[in-house]
Structure 1
Amino acid sequence: MASKMLYPRPRILASLLVLLGSMLAFCFFLLEEDYLFTTLLLGAALIYQIALLLKTLMSAEGELTELLEALRNDDFSTLVLPFSLDEKEAPSEEKALKAKNLKQKAQHFWKQTLQNSPPNELRQAVMEAYLHFQEIRQNKERDHQNLLTIIQHIGMGILAYNEKEEIELLNLAARRLLGVNKAEKLDDLQNFAPEWVSTVRQLKTGNRALVKGKKINGEPIDVSVYAIEINRRGESYKYLTFQNIHNELLDREMEAWQNLLRVLTHEIMNSVAPISSLAATIADESEYLKQKYNQNPLDFDDMQLAAQTIQRRSESLVNFMADFRNLSKLPEPKFEQVRLAEIFTHVETLFKADLQESEILFQVEMPAPSFFITADPMLIEQVLINLVKNAAQALESQDDNEHKKICLKSFRNEQGQAIISVKDNAMGIDADAISKIFIPFFSTKKGGSGIGLSLSQQIMRQHKGSISVISETDPQKARGTEFKLTFL
């Protein structure tokens, strides 16, 4: 193939000299009458040389045209080599090695070609241009593959779709966050949250939105979405980046509550403590005066009762403020590798007798001895005590439930995270209340302080984990409530 390329310049110069000599000889013998046959032979040779020279020049023009086309299309795969370097079908991990081997093969081919034919500057230029453009193409392909790998494995969700709402890109983080394995149209993401698709459609370039949704396991998430529109090859594309900021919002919310509690605790304690002390003094003085002056006992009894009421309510308020302090001054966890079975054993021992007396079955599925978590055992034990106690109180209030049961178990999810589950078969929590149960001082129980679940959530946040709840109130289904502790 290479032997049919352009003749080198020395050969063309030699052809021109031979052609010039043939023309001179033809003219000389043409003037001589006795050399007719020789003149005819020289004329035929002259025509053949002219045709051969024209063919060579036309071949050079064709080679130049083919070279320029290859440059324009950035494709040298069929121009100079008897084999192709286009290895798009090869696996991505083998591309670098394939390209390197083929490049060495191309260099060897050119070396042999140049050794077996006279020097040719155009051929050399074509070879260098080919290898240069092939290297550029390989670098672009490698950069493209690296970029795709980064996009697929980055922690932020990325979604891209065109004007027809056909999804062009949905990376791994996006699929996990939205709970889908595959999506071709934007409407395929409707199950994540009812307002998700409509919010995305209305979002303009540079704007942000917050969408609330739930994971497959029922855990609530708050997704922050940012949009940008790009015109590519005459078609408009919308690119969305989004991530779950639920934990960050919980941290800010808890921080706001703690700041409020510190202020309220300080102000109320400063005011209530003197009132309680003065009320106690008045009660004692009224008792003393009643005995000393022997006046109408009803007057002193009313005074003493009023003072005792003030004292009792003041002390109740002081105790309530102590709960404030517990919520705002939670100790820092002391992390260690703890065997989960030991925590389960402590909780089972603590509740076993009381639950048996209340006719509640306490089913504990002991973890394997090799099941360890990194946590503060005292704090995690306190969380489990709160959850089991809440479940027991919910069951005790139901006289119509003959098979009261609380189940405590643990397992690892698909991501390898440790999960602790506390599940009961009580009546469940109403949908309106379930979104508020982690708010400090909100309680669905009569006389409840609303502190336990808030403390539990704060403890799990300290462990870089989360607490979630799923509850079913429909009597036609398996009613009950399940709390899950997830450790990252």
Structure 2
Amino acid sequence: MHIRSLKNQYLFRIAVSLLWAVVTGALWMSVWTNRGSSHICDILLFWAVVATLALFVLVYWQYGLYRAHTRKVLFLLEALENDDASVHFVETEANRDNRLVSQALNKVAQILYKVKSETAQQEKYYELILECVNTGILVLNDNGAVYQKNSEALRLLGMEVFTHVRQLERVDSHLMEVVTACCPGDKLQAVFSNERGTVNLSIRVSDIHVHQEHLRILALNDINNELDEKEVDSWIRLTRVLTHEIMNAVTPITSLSDTLLTLMNEADASDPSASQEEIRNGLQTISSTGKGLLSFVENYRRFTRIPTPEPSLFYVKAFLQRMVDLARHQHAEAHVVYQLEVVPDDLILYADESLVSQVVINLLKNAIQAIESGGCTGTEGRICLRAYCNEAEAVLIEISNNGPAIPADIAEHIFIPFFTTKEGGSGIGLSISRQIMRLSGGSITLLPKGETTFVLKFN
């Protein structure tokens, strides 16, 4: 309403000024036309001079109002640019025009501040959404500068500060090349290792133009868990088929061998012979082989018979202390020092304690065997158990030992069912451990550097 009234005032003053300029021009034309008559010319000249002076006064007054109002507008714009919300023009001036301008500018400032506040709230809202999603988001310009990122992207890349793609060279040079060269529409994969283990990164690229600037949007996901689940499911299906077929074939052989041995023992009492002895030896071989094969199959059957976890709350420190005491008892002859650190002291875990104990016991047994293999770096072996809660409130349990490091070419296969480098080993301990962690909604990883360290993560 104030702006409309102010507009009408300006139009009225402009109309009056133009009318007065026309009148002044007409008077001077009259003076020029009647310059032959001195009396009329004098009168017209007087009024022409008066009209000219009045026109100058009117123009000067208009110009003064224009400058005063322009200063107010410029002051308001400068305040808006500096985020100064305290600016307010006095609306009680005696001059009605100034009062209307002040009222109009205050109204404009109020509207602009409201729009700016709503825009800031929307930006915070979108930033909050980005922080809540489980996908890492990176927005890069064509020069490689990071326009925007969320905490999940920083977590996946293992970085705290990320302002330019060149910083990725500290993480992995190949990853930097992939991110630098990616184009809109690309679907890429990049594998790299950091202190948390191996990350298999899926990258989807799209683009957008904002303020005439071209930006690339990268969606990052760690697909290790998805790959692990598919791999484990494939092995489970294969194992079930193998156990079914082998059990069907071996069971009758073993049963028949036992029956023949019984008959041969009964016949020996009346007519022993060398041929019978050979048959007996052959049947004993068949029987022992069949029983060994049955034991072999039964051992692997455990891989596909893990019960559904029944989680409950329990204290991590007391749990790990029980696991250490059990390991000491089972391997009393081992020269191993155990170090236990739990932060905080009353750390609580929600999981199936029985299943998790199988994982920890298996890792402790492997650690003791690694130390006893002769690669200990000190006079005695050392096993460290460390439990803590990370920034995402996930519980992590680290089990490390100072035995010989696992070679890189072997580390790639340690979680594959049936794979083992130990003589007489079954090769399912770590496979079952990973399956238990997957069913518990967590993960197990081997850190790529330093001492042999396995990390159990419970989300």
For the aligned pair, the TM-score class normalised by the smaller chain equals: 0.7 to 0.9
Counterpart check, 1:377 vs 2:370:
no
Deviations 1:89-147 (A, max 9, x none): 55xxxxxxx65x65xx46xx5x546x841699999988877765665555445434543
Instruction: List per-residue Cα deviations over 1:337-374 (Å, max 9, x = no partner).
Output: 10123322322332224434233334445776522211
Relative to structure 2, which stretch is displaced further, 176-185 or 120-129?
120-129
Find the partner of 1:459 among 436, 442, 452.
436
Would the alpha carbon gap of residues 299 and 22 (structure 1) be closer, same or farther in structure 2, given more than 3 Å must change? closer
Q: Which residue matches 2:73?
A: 80
Say which SS state the counterpart of residue 235 (structure 2) adopts: helix
Residue aligning to 1:289: 267
1:45 aligns with 2:50: yes
Partner SS state of residue 267, structure 1: helix
Distance in 1 (CA, whole Å) between partners of 2:112 and 2:343 is: 61
> Taking structure 1 as reference, are residues 78 and 154 closer, same or farther at Cα in structure 2, changes over 3 Å only?
farther
Is 2:362 the counterpart of 1:386? yes
Equivalence for 2:157: 178
Query: Is the CA contact 1:276–1:314 (under 8 Å) kept in the aligned structure 2?
Result: yes
Residue 165 of structure 2 contacts residue 180 of structure 2 at CA under 8 Å; is this kept in 1?
no
1:344 maps to which residue? 320
Are the counterparts in 1 of residues 261 and 280 from structure 2 also a CA contact under 8 Å?
Answer: yes
For 1:35 and 1:419, the matched residues in 2 are separated by 108
1:331 aligned onto 2:302: no
- The equivalent residue for 1:221 is 199
Where do residues 128-277 of structure 1 align in structure 2 (5 Å cutoff)?
Answer: 135-136=114-115, 138-151=117-130, 154-217=133-196, 219-230=197-208, 236-277=214-255
Q: How far did residue 484 of structure 1 move?
A: 2.1
CA distance in structure 1 between the partners assigned to 2:170 and 2:422 by the alignment: 33
Structure 1, unaligned runs of 5 or more: 68-76, 91-97, 473-477
Deviations 1:268-311 (A, max 9, x none): 2222211221122222223233334x142x21122122222222
DSSP-derived class of the 1:195 partner: helix
Equivalent positions of 1:66-145 (< 5 A) are: 80=73, 82-84=75-77, 86-87=79-80, 99=85, 105=88, 109=90, 112=92, 116-117=95-96, 135-136=114-115, 138-145=117-124
Q: 1:470 maps to which residue? A: 447
Please say if 1:302 is aligned against 2:281. no
1:408 offset after TM fit, Å? 2.9
Alignment of 1:424-435 (within 5 A): 424-435=401-412
1:160 and 1:170 in contact (8 A); partners too: yes
Return the alpha-carbon distance in structure 2 between the equivalents of residues 348 and 134 of structure 1. Answer: 64
Q: What does the per-residue CA deviation read over 1:419-450, in whole Å, with 9 as the maximum and x for residues that have no partner? A: 32322222221111111111111112111111
In structure 2, the CA distance between the partners of 1:184 and 1:52, relative to structure 1 (3 Å rule), is same
Farther-moved stretch of structure 1 (117-126 vs 279-288): 117-126
Q: Counterpart of 1:260 in structure 2: which amino acid?
A: L
Q: 1:35-94: CA deviations, max 9, x gaps?
A: 77655432211222344566678899x89xxx9xxxxxxxxx96637444645555xxxx
SS of the aligned residue for 1:252 comes to helix
My pick for the range that moved more, 326-335 or 50-59, is: 50-59
**8 A contact 1:421–1:485 mirrored in 2:** yes
From 380, 389, 404, give the equivalent of 1:403: 380
Deviation at 1:193, TM superposition (A): 3.1
Instruction: Give the 3 Å change call, closer, same or farther, for CA 122–178 of structure 1 in structure 2.
Output: same
SS at match of 2:385: strand
Is contact 1:352–1:362 with CA below 8 Å preserved after alignment?
Answer: no
Aligned length: 451
Flag the 1:282–1:192 CA change in 2: closer, same or farther, 3 A. Answer: farther
For residues 236 and 460 of structure 1, the distance between their equivalents in structure 2, rounded to whole angstroms, comes to 43
Structure 2: unaligned runs, 5 residues or longer: none
Aligned counterparts of 1:310 and 1:431: Cα–Cα separation in 2: 40
CA distance in structure 1 between the partners assigned to 2:311 and 2:108 by the alignment = 62
Alignment deviations for residues 317-354 of structure 1 (CA, whole Å, 9 cap, x no partner): 22222223211121112211101233223223322244
Greater length-normalized contact order (CA 8 Å, ≥ 6 residues apart): 2
Rounded to whole Å, the distance in 2 between the matches of 1:383 and 1:14 is 94
Q: Is the 8 A contact 1:26 1:39 kept in 2?
A: no
Contact 2:144–2:180 (Cα < 8 Å) also in 1: no
Deviation at 1:194, TM superposition (A): 4.1
1:485 and 2:426 aligned: no
TM-score by length of 2: 0.81
Equivalent pairs: percent with the same residue?
26
SS of the residue 1:447 aligns to = coil
The one-letter code sitting in structure 2 at the alignment partner of 1:225 is I
Query: Mean alpha-carbon deviation: is it higher for 307-316 or for 166-175?
Result: 166-175
Once residues 117 and 229 of structure 2 are traced to their aligned partners in structure 1, the CA distance between those partners, rounded to angstroms, is 47
Deviation at 1:176, TM superposition (A): 2.0
* 2:426 corresponding residue in structure 1: 449
Taking a change above 3 Å as real, the CA distance of residues 312 and 137 of structure 1, as seen in their structure-2 partners, is same
Q: What TM-score do the two structures reach when normalised by structure 1?
A: 0.77
Against the structure 1 CA distance between its residues 24 and 417, is the aligned structure 2 distance closer, same or farther, given a 3 Å change threshold? Answer: closer
One-letter amino acid of the structure 2 residue matched with residue 279 of structure 1: S
